[in-house]
A and B are shown apart, each in its own frame.
Chain A
């Protein structure tokens, strides 16, 4: 369903059914897409609620394909952003655990908009809320920052700034990974993830 620019009605014009359907019915339907019946907005691009989550398989990085999300080309404009928040759980196992995501997962390579999270070196089970922010700077560049709260609310956090090599104007895959330095399965599990568009009334480069 696409938007039809509202017409300027002229005196003496006899409105027909086709006009009412296009101008009133279809445009209201378009506006209603992200609005609940009570008028509240649905901001998220997508929300993943936990069933079992996706845990690591052995050591190294495990790709969480079940969380793959296509970001439509042109969804994010210069100065706008995707805000990603989620929760990962770690077991009481000594070892480094991480969560990462990137927004150009279909192209791969080394030029990534990439976020890193969570180095759990104490043998304490906990859940770690995390947040990533992917900001579009131009059609092929962006900035990313991420942070987590773990047990200590001070972090850790990782900051990635710079070019990404991907293309915001075409469909992109947003993909997650979990990492473990130990071979035991499921010592880190990616749980709930929420992806919200930070669209702006006014967006620009400065």
Chain B
């Protein structure tokens, strides 16, 4: 269901059911879909929480050297969701590494071809936390920033693991995009994506020229 520009009502006109349904019912539905039952606006495109069971190809890596994409965490980014300089797509996630002492990697991608290594660790039994954003520069360019911590669950002493930054060269923000998460480790279930929150921080006005 999409938004219809509200019409200008005319004196003495007989309103049809079609007009009422388009301009009252459907536009109301568009607006209320962005609010929860308490009236709060929804700020995330997608929120995923951990079910508690690590499963390869669902929320954890499969065995081998391939990058395992997790379809359940995939986020659809509507066309023009980011549409002016400074608009950002934020993500915050928590992961878990197993007691297996081997490399575990997290990749993110807006398109399936360009996978950005966002985390690479051999730390065992930790909770990596990943925060960052994809930003709009122009319709076909963008940038990526991320930072990660890791530490033991329940009051460990986490450390900063990595600051990542890279330019995006193949993006087209004016078309529908998807945010993909990939995991990779030699042994299955070495790394699990648990919770994943993705949403926009978009401004009423954005300006590249000023900065």
Asked if B79 CB lies within 8 Å of chain A CBs, one says: no
Q: Which of B109-117, B156-164, B172-180 lies on the face that meets chain A? A: B156-164
B153–A8 touching, CB < 8 Å: no
What are 17 A-B pairs at a CB distance below 8 A?
Answer: A8-B17, A9-B25, A30-B32, A31-B35, A81-B195, A141-B52, A155-B157, A157-B129, A157-B158, A158-B158, A159-B152, A161-B94, A196-B43, A198-B44, A198-B197, A199-B47, A206-B70
A158–B155 touching, CB < 8 Å: yes
Asked whether A41 and B47 contact (CB < 8 A) given A31-B35, A200-B197, the answer is no
Which residues of A does B touch, CB under 8 Å?
1, 3, 6-13, 15, 23-24, 27, 30-31, 33-35, 40-43, 45, 72, 74-75, 77-81, 116, 133, 135-138, 141, 143, 145, 147, 153-162, 196-206
How long is the Cα–Cα vector from A93 to B31 in the complex, in angstroms? 52
Find chain B residues with CB under 8 A from A154 CB. Answer: 159-160
CB A115 to nearest CB in B, in angstroms, measures: 10
CB A171 to nearest CB in B, in angstroms, measures: 12
B49–A135 touching, CB < 8 Å: yes
How long is the Cα–Cα vector from A183 to B41 in the complex, in angstroms? 44
Point out the residue from A8, A13, A43, A143 that lies within 8 Å of B50, measured CB to CB: A143
Find chain A residues with CB under 8 A from B59 CB. Answer: 206
How long is the Cα–Cα vector from A139 to B136 in the complex, in angstroms? 36
Asked if B99 CB lies within 8 Å of chain A CBs, one says: no
B50–A133 touching, CB < 8 Å: no
Find chain B residues with CB under 8 A from A72 CB. Answer: 38
Find chain B residues with CB under 8 A from A159 CB. Answer: 94, 127, 129, 149, 151-156, 158
Find chain A residues with CB under 8 A from B35 CB. Answer: 31, 34
How long is the Cα–Cα vector from A135 to B48 in the complex, in angstroms? 9
CB B33 to nearest CB in A, in angstroms, measures: 7
CB A130 to nearest CB in B, in angstroms, measures: 13
Instruction: Name the residue on B nearest A42 (C-beta).
Output: B41
B197–A135 touching, CB < 8 Å: yes
Asked if B46 CB lies within 8 Å of chain A CBs, one says: yes
How long is the Cα–Cα vector from A153 to B92 in the complex, in angstroms? 18
* B 1-49 contacts with A by CB, 8 A: 15-17, 20-21, 24-26, 28-29, 31-49
B32–A137 touching, CB < 8 Å: no
User: DSSP class of B's interface residues: helix, strand, loop or mixed?
Assistant: mixed
A161–B96 touching, CB < 8 Å: yes
Instruction: Name the residue on A nearest B35 (C-beta).
Output: A31
How long is the Cα–Cα vector from A157 to B196 in the complex, in angstroms? 19
How long is the Cα–Cα vector from A6 to B30 in the complex, in angstroms? 11
Asked if B73 CB lies within 8 Å of chain A CBs, one says: yes
Point out the residue from A75, A80, A138 that lies within 8 Å of B47, measured CB to CB: A80
Which 9 pairs, one residue from A and one from B, show the smallest C-beta to C-beta distance? A200-B47, A9-B20, A79-B47, A200-B44, A6-B25, A199-B42, A206-B72, A154-B160, A33-B39
How long is the Cα–Cα vector from A204 to B35 in the complex, in angstroms? 17
Find chain A residues with CB under 8 A from B70 CB. Answer: 206
CB B17 to nearest CB in A, in angstroms, measures: 4
Find chain A residues with CB under 8 A from B204 CB. Answer: 40
A206–B48 touching, CB < 8 Å: yes
Among A34, A141, A199, max chain B CB count under 10 A is at: A199
If A9-B24, A43-B41 are given as contacts, then 20 extra A-B residue pairs at C-beta distance below 8 Å, sorted by A number, are A3-B37, A6-B25, A23-B28, A33-B39, A41-B41, A42-B41, A79-B195, A81-B195, A135-B94, A136-B49, A137-B195, A143-B94, A143-B195, A155-B159, A160-B154, A201-B46, A202-B47, A203-B44, A204-B48, A204-B49
